[in-house]
């Protein structure tokens, strides 16, 4: 489901009047959305609590590279922090040389152990952060996996569910699909005779707490965002257009936040072979 926020639990007439006080219209490129969502994930109370005392695993992926930057205060080479990717018009893989392994934290400090070892220590309240390739309006998220045993999330999900850990899924609405569950039923590795690039399955991320631009903006500023349009040209392909509502201070804070991340560089892919 979407990360729970007061707005999604309903609001009364007084709230309606407040939301009508100010509004803004903004556009976010995919890279800008990744930066915004990453800032929100780093600010989530579950994440902050686990960083103070507990375990945090930041799975690989380009959006999670932004998350790692916000949590650790470092610069992460985006291409090196992912394996599967959609690039050059096909389903592909990053170059194996130079790949960075998952960041694993214990009590807020990076530890040099495989994520699988940290996962053995996980208890309720610990946090696994995993990006996604699809999200729908019900808050379901799904990730493409090329391995027929489910890849990283396939190995982690049973433990996360059984132990009551937090699965936080940052995902931009450029990846909005009609239904993740319907898509998953049509997308498994051995189904396809023809394909552009690698064959993949779409794995639904059950129990995930999904954070899109909408949840990110309310976490960080308190505004209510509505997804009103998408798309663009000239490098703005995948752009998400949002209408923001809230009191004057909230909308101003949200607009200033968005101005501060405008111009975020797009994630560069490998050279086409």
pLDDT digits (tens, 9 = 90+) for 125-163: 999 999 999 999 999 999 999 988 888 899 999 999 999
Confidence of residue 1 (pLDDT cuts 50, 70, 90): confident
Confidence check: pLDDT of 19 > 60: no
Confidence check: pLDDT of 13 > 80: no
This prediction has a pTM of 0.93
Residue that the structure tokens 């960083």 belong to: 51
Confidence check: pLDDT of 12 > 80: no
Stretch 205-229: mean pLDDT, rounded?
A: 97
Average pLDDT over the chain, rounded to an integer: 93
pLDDT of residue 177: 97
Give the rounded percent of residues in the chain with a pLDDT score beyond 90.
Answer: 82
């Amino acid at each position: 489901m979407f990360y729970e926020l007061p707005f999604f639990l309903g609001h009364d007439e007084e709230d309606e009047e407040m939301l009508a006080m100010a509004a803004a219209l903004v556009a976010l490129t995919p890279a800008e959305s990744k930066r915004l969502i990453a800032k929100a994930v780093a600010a989530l109370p579950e994440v902050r609590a686990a960083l103070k005392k507990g375990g945090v695993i930041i799975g690989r992926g380009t959006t999670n590279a932004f998350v790692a930057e916000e949590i650790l205060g470092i610069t992460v080479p985006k291409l090196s922090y992912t394996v599967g990717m959609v690039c050059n018009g096909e389903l592909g893989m990053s170059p194996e040389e130079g790949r960075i392994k998952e960041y694993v934290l214990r009590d807020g400090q990076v530890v040099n152990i495989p994520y699988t070892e940290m996962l053995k220590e996980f208890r309720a309240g610990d946090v696994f952060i995993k990006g996604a390739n699809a999200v729908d309006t019900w808050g379901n998220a799904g990730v493409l996996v090329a391995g027929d045993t489910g890849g990283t999330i396939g190995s982690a999900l049973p433990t996360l569910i059984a132990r009551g850990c937090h699965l936080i899924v940052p995902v931009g609405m450029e990846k909005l699909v009609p239904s993740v569950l319907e898509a998953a039923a049509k997308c498994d590795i051995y189904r396809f005779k023809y394909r552009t690039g690698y064959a993949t399955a779409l794995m639904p991320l059950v129990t995930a707490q999904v954070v899109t631009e909408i949840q990110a903006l309310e976490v960080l500023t308190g505004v209510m965002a509505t997804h009103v349009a998408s798309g663009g040209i000239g490098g703005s392909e995948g752009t998400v257009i949002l209408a923001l509502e809230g009191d004057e201070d909230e909308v101003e804070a949200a607009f200033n936040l968005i101005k501060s991340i405008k111009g975020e560089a797009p994630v560069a892919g490998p050279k086409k072979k």
